[in-house]
Amino acid sequence: MPVEITWWGHATCAVEDANIRVLTDPLFAGRLAHLRRRRGVLPPAGARRADVVLVSHLHADHLHVPSLACFGPGTRLLVPRGAPRAVPGLRRLRGLRVTEVVPGDEVRIGEVLVRVVPALHDGRRLPVGPRRSPALGFVVEGEARTYFAGDTGLFDAMAERVGPVDVALLPVGGWGPFLGEGHLDAGRAARALARLAPRVAVPVHYGTYWPIGMDAVRPHEFHAPGDEFVRLAAVAAPQVAVHRLGHGESVRLEVAR
Dump pLDDT digits (tens) for 156-209: 999 999 999 999 999 999 998 888 788 999 999 999 999 999 999 999 999 999
Q: Write the secondary structure of 136-147 as one string of H (helix), E (strand) and C (coil).
A: EEEEEECCCEEE
Per the CB < 8 A criterion, the answer to whether 176 and 144 are in contact is no
pLDDT digits (tens, 9 = 90+) for 129-139: 556 789 999 99
**pLDDT for position 252:** 96
Q: Is the pTM of this model over 0.85?
A: yes
Residue in 114, 93, 116 with CA at minimum distance from that of residue 104: 116
The pLDDT > 70 percentage for the chain reads 96
Using CB atoms within 10 A of its CB, is residue 176 exposed (0-12), middle (13-18) or buried (19+)? middle
The dihedral through the CA atoms of 196, 202, 135, 92 has a sign that is negative
Number of C-alpha atoms within 13 angstroms, CB side, residue 185?
Answer: 13
Quote the CA–CA distance of 71 and 245 in Å, as a whole number: 25
What's the mean pLDDT in 130-153?
92
pLDDT digits (tens, 9 = 90+) for 28-77: 999 999 999 999 999 999 999 999 999 999 999 999 999 999 999 999 99
